[in-house]
Amino acid sequence: MDITIRAVRPEEHAALGELTAQAYLADGLLAFADSDEYLIELRDVAGRAADAEVLVAVERGGVEPGAAEPGVPGRGERLLGGVTFAPGGGPLAELAGNGEAEIRMLAVACEDRRRGAGEALVRACVERARAADGCRRVVLSSQQAMRTAHRVYERLGFVRTPERDWTPVPGVTLRTYALDL
């Protein structure tokens, strides 16, 4: 598979929002399932893109040349997943402080997992953080159930930071990780 990581395009906002929402729902990551208010934020890719950098993983090939996947623009591309890269101090940074960048809302379509798209998205965020002036660390929050993601983070050098774990809503404790650059 030929995976490309690039900025999301406005015409892809709805598709990425729905992909992200469905990934979280399929994995049982929302406390209130399909009535969870967090779904509004997951689907609001346009809002995220206005305040942070939203990246997508797309597969080139796999689609007849010149054709676009239904609902996903791009000649010969298929949307696999996406992530939000938020600088510390930005409106989307929940955990990141001064000198840190944050990875948020990483999602890969269920049918496209275990093919490297998630890891490629995380690596792209780390590269952006390394290129950012004054950025010393990348941080992220993850639910305990996201074991596959935890293995990816740890393989890439992220370490647990339990002193930063937090509870966004009652009953949901987020585990935190950091990578010093």
Could you report the per-residue pLDDT of 66-85, keeping only the tens digit for each? 444 444 446 679 999 999 99
Per-residue confidence band for 171, with pLDDT thresholds at 50, 70 and 90: confident
Evaluate if residue 30 carries a pLDDT over 70.
Answer: yes
Its sign, for the CA torsion 168, 48, 134, 102, is: positive
The pLDDT confidence band at residue 105, using thresholds 50, 70 and 90, is very high
Return the amino acid letter for 59. Answer: E
Query: CB neighbours (10 Å) of residue 7?
Result: 11
* Greatest alpha-carbon span in the chain: 50
Our separate counts of H helices and E strands in the chain read 5, 8
- Whole-model pTM? 0.89
Q: Delineate the domains of the chain, giving CATH numbers in brackets.
A: 2-135 (3.40.630.30)
Under the banding of pLDDT at 50, 70 and 90, the label for residue 32 is low
